[in-house]
Amino acid sequence: MTEADLERILWRGVLRVRLNAALRWTCAALSLGLGLAALLVAAARLAPGWSGGLLGGLGVLPWAVLAAAVLSFLRSRPAPARVALQIDQSAGLSEHLTTWEDLRRKPAPRDGVAQAFVLAQRQATLRQAQDLQAGRHIPLRLPAWSRVLLLGGLALGCALLMPERKAPRAEVSAAPAPAAAGQGAGGGHQGREVRRGEVLVQRVVHRL
């Protein structure tokens, strides 16, 4: 174990703290995205005429979640001293790593007693930091409220299973038009007159 190993452990701890921040913001953005997607799908089911515009907005949600993850990772800049203290508390190092991180940033002392103290503290930290792993003491974890994602997924599934509302059809009247009825009555009267004329012609021919 050397000081370069301690620096590597501290750097990995800082990276894991930033990743945990990205996970929290990603879960928050994904929860909001699932809720919004469920609302858009339900609105598209109830209003089929607007379904194209409503469902077109769903393509923005994955990019919004990705942007939240990247921005939260870039904006999270934990102080190395705070990360060292977190590792100390988890590993039970009695703040040796925190003291080492503080002393290494200060100029080397000129006093012999102070130099001996710094050297002794460094050696003690190296001994206690044997087999120290940042991943064991700063694990990557989802936030406790990440179960909200299940509710968002269920809401989206229910919205997708909703039946689409159909547009009402115009009722067709079964009553005949007055003009057509008049034409039918006139046609029947003309047919009776023609048959009466044929009967009269047959009687005249029979008498002759």
Distance from the Cα of residue 52 to its chain's centroid: 19
| Residue 28 confidence class, pLDDT cut points 50, 70, 90 | very high
CA distances from 155 to 48, 158, 162, 179 (A): 19, 5, 11, 57
% of the chain residues with pLDDT over 70: 75
Report the C-alpha gap between 83 and 95 in whole angstroms. 11
pLDDT digits (tens, 9 = 90+) for 46-64: 877 766 666 776 788 889 9
pLDDT digits (tens, 9 = 90+) for 142-192: 998 888 999 999 998 998 888 877 755 544 444 444 544 444 444 555 556
**Can you tell me which residue has the tokens 């609105």?**
43
Would you say residue 88 has pLDDT above 80?
yes
Report the C-alpha gap between 15 and 205 in whole angstroms. 121
DSSP one-letter code for 111: S
